[in-house]
Amino acid sequence: MIRLENLTKVFDTPKGAVVAADHINMEVPSGEICILLGPSGCGKTTTLKMINRIVKPSSGKVFINGDDTTGMDTQDLRRNIGYVIQQIGLFPNMTIEENIAVVPKLLGWDKARYKERARELMHMIALEPDAFLKRYPSELSGGQQQRIGVARALAADPPVMLMDEPFGAIDPINRAVIQDEFLKMQQDLKKTIMFVSHDIDEAIKMGDRVAVFREGKLVQYSSPDDLLAAPKNAFVESFLGEDRALKRLNLVKVAEVVSDEIGTVKPEDTLTTALARIDDFGYQNSILMINDKRQPVGLISRSLARTTKGYCRDHFQNVPATVSLDDDLRKVASLMFAQDITWLPCVDEEGRVCGQITQRAMTHHLGARFRTKQRETSAVAAEPKE
Amino acid sequence: MLIRSLKSAGLVLALIVIFLLGVWAQASGAIDDFLWYLPDVQYLVVQHLWLTFLSGSLAILVAIPLGVWLSRPSMAKAAESMMQVLNVGTTIPTLAVLALSMSFLGIGTVPAVFGLFVATLLPIARNTYAGLKGVSPALKEAAAGIGMSPTQRLLKVELPNALYVIFAGIRTALTINIGTVPLAFLIGAGGLGELIFTGIDLYDPIMMLSGAIPTALLAILVDALVAGVAFIVVPRGVNPARA
């Protein structure tokens, strides 16, 4: 857990005092990733660097796991906080192994233990230890270097990590891969992480919580979903962008929106039965055909069922796409737009149909948050003045 | 193809010229004349190297700590003006420095070593300072953020990364040093300058060359030697020669 209490930094510049961070109060619960988000010069990096005292706080306190860090020795404090920076900062004079072992060596681990730890970490970041440990940073690609940077920060297994735009200098494709790998690692590691970013999409993807900064002040601190659904003021709203409702698609899983009510036909049913089912369920265009294992095998279109006689097995089209329960709505929306359809069948891990997801259900789910907010604000406005 | 055949033709030509020079030297008795100076050369080379060794190692021992000290953040304000003072120091001709040190320290080895030391100091101090200042701020921040003490940062991160530049300074300085030692003869410290200056005075080209050629060879040799040490000592990851 990281708790900041009235943390303030005032820089003396020739033009006068500049308040880079103004009485920041926030708490990151153990095992969560908190993203510090904001435009450049908003104080997010200053706030992060005050935690490990790269920037000395002007006033205020930092608590780590409940302990006030004010009186702690700076070196001890830093050795127990993993630190990853955008410029990566691997030491070019040391091999990968030496780079990873830096903190364990400072902590006085014996040789066998830190060598073993280096191999373990290489496996964790999916780089072959034998191929990489003896090489030098300059021989690695940017993405590989930053993986090592993360491994170095994790080496002594610190409970807390600070990451200053760690994936900012990596190309977009590699960045997405590293973000996914990191999230997967975090599921097991459960570190308490503060993470600076200026990229709203990264914040939504990586963060359990997002703290939006502006001109040294913490403007809003909430979950990504709350942030997108209920931005506190015009600044946050404009920073999130006009498509913030679409960004929420990333955050919602199919499982939350899926309806298990789905009409289906079997191959041996007649087209007449199919037409009746389509009308019963109120479908506009087609109905799903499934086999004995409840796996989707085809679509029977309404126009065909109305004009033709025969069995379903002879007159079906291919299923355009299916989605699984842990896909996010962004993927669903993308598939719908690509196929020009308004619903998709959902399948479980064994590929059995377990429900359907419709455009209507998606808009309803996303809109629900906005509707309650509007109702709240109108209720406040309607309250009679005494 | 053309370039390669031109190159090999040039090589053959050079060999023929060298051979003819050898024949001429032998025929005119120049080789015997040179060999006549051999015992002198042997004695003076040792003296020459001794002067270089004393002044050079003294300069390295003083200049590196000086460069390190000037590069510390606490010295940031004073460092640039200190470097300017050192820069002005090098613009004084070495001969003048030797003359000055002779007026204070008399004649012999001591004033010569002091004069050479002053001339050698600057390139090393300047390169040490520039090399340490050139270490990327990201590396220093990473080292600090990881929990290294200022001393650990200097020894494990800053110096290893500046080492290549520091060695370049030592190479320059020692080469200049070897080339300057002949002047030390003028204040009675010996060295190969004895043959060079006496040769000039007596209008004896053979005697002068017997001093000048070994001096040039020594400079090349010491340069190669320091380069070799740098090749081994500078860590592979930051050594352009081993990349």
Structure confidence by residue, pLDDT tens digits, A95-104: 999 999 999 9
d(CA A343, CA A322): 10
Q: What is the largest CA-CA distance in chain B?
A: 73
Kindly identify which residue of chain A lies nearest to residue B163, measuring between CA atoms.
Answer: A93
Domain boundaries, chain B: 1-28, 37-242
Query: What local confidence, expressed as pLDDT, does residue A375 receive?
Result: 58
Nearest by CB to B235, from A76, A93, A152: name it: A93
Q: Judge whether residue A380 has pLDDT over 60.
A: no
In terms of domains, do A140 and A263 share one? no
Hey, is the C-beta of B161 within 8 angstroms of any chain A C-beta?
Answer: yes
Hey, is the C-beta of B143 within 8 angstroms of any chain A C-beta?
Answer: yes
> In Å, how far is B238's CA from the nearest CA of chain A?
5
d(CA B53, CA B63): 15
Dihedrals phi, psi of A141, to nearest 5 degrees: -75, 165
Residues 6 or more apart whose Cβ sits within 8 Å of residue A253: A325, A326, A327, A328, A329
Q: Please indicate, yes or no, if residue A260 is contained in any of the structural domains.
A: yes
pLDDT in tens, A301-321: 888 888 888 888 888 888 888
- Burial label for B202, CB within 10 Å (0-12, 13-18, 19+), is exposed
Query: What local confidence, expressed as pLDDT, does residue A386 receive?
Result: 41
Check the CA dihedral B99-B105-B110-B113 and report its sign: negative
A chain contacts of residue B145, beta-carbon cutoff 8 Å: 52, 54, 78, 81, 83, 85, 89, 162
CATH number of the domain bearing residue A248: 3.40.50.300
d(CA B188, CA B112): 8
Enter the tokens of residue B132: 């340490």
B chain contacts of residue A94, beta-carbon cutoff 8 Å: 160, 235, 237
pLDDT in tens, A345-361: 898 888 888 888 988 88
In terms of domains, do A231 and A325 share one? no
Hey, is the C-beta of B31 within 8 angstroms of any chain A C-beta?
Answer: no
Residues 6 or more apart whose Cβ sits within 8 Å of residue A298: A288, A289, A312, A316, A317, A318, A319
In terms of domains, do A50 and A83 share one? yes
Enter the tokens of residue B99: 């003359």
Q: At what angle do helices B76-91 and B109-133 cross, to 10 degrees?
A: 140
Q: Please indicate, yes or no, if residue A385 is contained in any of the structural domains.
A: no
Domain that holds residue A52: 2-252
Cβ of A106 within 8 Å of Cβ of B148? The answer is yes
Hey, is the C-beta of A106 within 8 angstroms of any chain B C-beta?
Answer: yes
In terms of domains, do A278 and A233 share one? no
Q: Band the pLDDT of A343: cuts 50, 70, 90.
A: confident
Hey, is the C-beta of B132 within 8 angstroms of any chain A C-beta?
Answer: no
In terms of domains, do A347 and A207 share one? no
Cβ of B237 within 8 Å of Cβ of A76? The answer is no
d(CA B167, CA B158): 14
Q: Judge whether residue A373 has pLDDT over 70.
A: no
Q: Band the pLDDT of A372: cuts 50, 70, 90.
A: low
d(CA A39, CA A21): 14
- CA–CA–CA angle B146, A163, B163 (5° rounding): 40
Run of H or E residues at A20: strand A16-28
Kindly identify which residue of chain A lies nearest to residue B137, measuring between CA atoms.
Answer: A89
Cβ of B237 within 8 Å of Cβ of A137? The answer is yes
Cβ of B161 within 8 Å of Cβ of A92? The answer is yes
Q: Judge whether residue A385 has pLDDT over 90.
A: no
User: Under a CB-based contact definition with an 8 Å cutoff, are residues A205 and A211 in contact?
Assistant: no
Hey, is the C-beta of B156 within 8 angstroms of any chain A C-beta?
Answer: yes
Hey, is the C-beta of B157 within 8 angstroms of any chain A C-beta?
Answer: yes
Of A169, A176, A237, residue with least CA distance to A205:
A176
In terms of domains, do A138 and A269 share one? no
Q: Please indicate, yes or no, if residue A343 is contained in any of the structural domains.
A: yes
Query: What local confidence, expressed as pLDDT, does residue A241 receive?
Result: 86
Question: A235, A252, A269 — which closes off a domain?
Answer: A252
User: Under a CB-based contact definition with an 8 Å cutoff, are residues A60 and A7 in contact?
Assistant: yes
In terms of domains, do A211 and A304 share one? no
- Number of structural domains, chain A? 2
In terms of domains, do A237 and A272 share one? no
Q: What is the DSSP letter of A138?
A: G
Query: Could you name the CATH architecture of B37-242?
Result: Orthogonal Bundle (1.10)
Cβ of A54 within 8 Å of Cβ of B144? The answer is yes
Query: What local confidence, expressed as pLDDT, does residue A318 receive?
Result: 87
d(CA A345, CA A356): 4
What is the mean pLDDT of the segment spanning A138-148? 91
Q: How many Cβ atoms from other residues are within 10 Å of residue A251's Cβ?
A: 19
In terms of domains, do A235 and A287 share one? no
Hey, is the C-beta of B149 within 8 angstroms of any chain A C-beta?
Answer: yes
Nearest by CB to A93, from B144, B152, B237: name it: B237
In terms of domains, do A204 and A259 share one? no
A chain contacts of residue B146, beta-carbon cutoff 8 Å: 78-79, 83, 102-103, 106, 152
Hey, is the C-beta of B145 within 8 angstroms of any chain A C-beta?
Answer: yes
pLDDT (tens place) for every residue of chain B, 243 residues total: 778 888 999 999 999 999 998 888 888 887 888 888 899 999 999 999 999 999 999 999 999 999 999 999 888 888 888 888 888 877 888 888 888 888 998 888 999 999 999 889 988 999 999 999 999 999 999 999 999 999 999 999 999 999 999 999 999 999 999 999 999 999 988 899 999 999 999 999 889 999 999 999 999 999 999 999 999 998 888 888 776
What are the helix and strand counts (H, E) for chain A? 16, 16
CATH number of the domain bearing residue A353: 3.10.580.10
Beta-carbon contacts below 8 Å between A and B: 76
The SS3 call for residue A323 is strand
Nearest by CB to B138, from A80, A89, A138: name it: A89
Pairing relationship of beta strands A67-68 and A59-64 according to DSSP bridges: antiparallel
Share of chain A above pLDDT 70, in %: 96
In terms of domains, do A244 and A268 share one? no
- CA–CA–CA angle B129, B130, B134 (5° rounding): 120
Kindly identify which residue of chain B lies nearest to residue A103, measuring between CA atoms.
Answer: B146
Q: Judge whether residue A186 has pLDDT over 90.
A: yes
B chain contacts of residue A168, beta-carbon cutoff 8 Å: none
In terms of domains, do A324 and A311 share one? yes
B chain contacts of residue A85, beta-carbon cutoff 8 Å: 138, 141-142, 145
Provide ipTM, 2 decimals: 0.79
User: Under a CB-based contact definition with an 8 Å cutoff, are residues B120 and A69 in contact?
Assistant: no
| A222 bridge partner residues | A210
Sequence letter at residue A34: C
A chain contacts of residue B155, beta-carbon cutoff 8 Å: none
B chain contacts of residue A52, beta-carbon cutoff 8 Å: 145
Q: At what angle do helices B205-233 and B159-184 cross, to 10 degrees?
A: 170
- CA distances for A174 relative to A87, A152, A178, A185, A206, angstroms: 16, 19, 6, 16, 15
Hey, is the C-beta of A89 within 8 angstroms of any chain B C-beta?
Answer: yes
Question: A224, A252, A280 — which closes off a domain?
Answer: A252
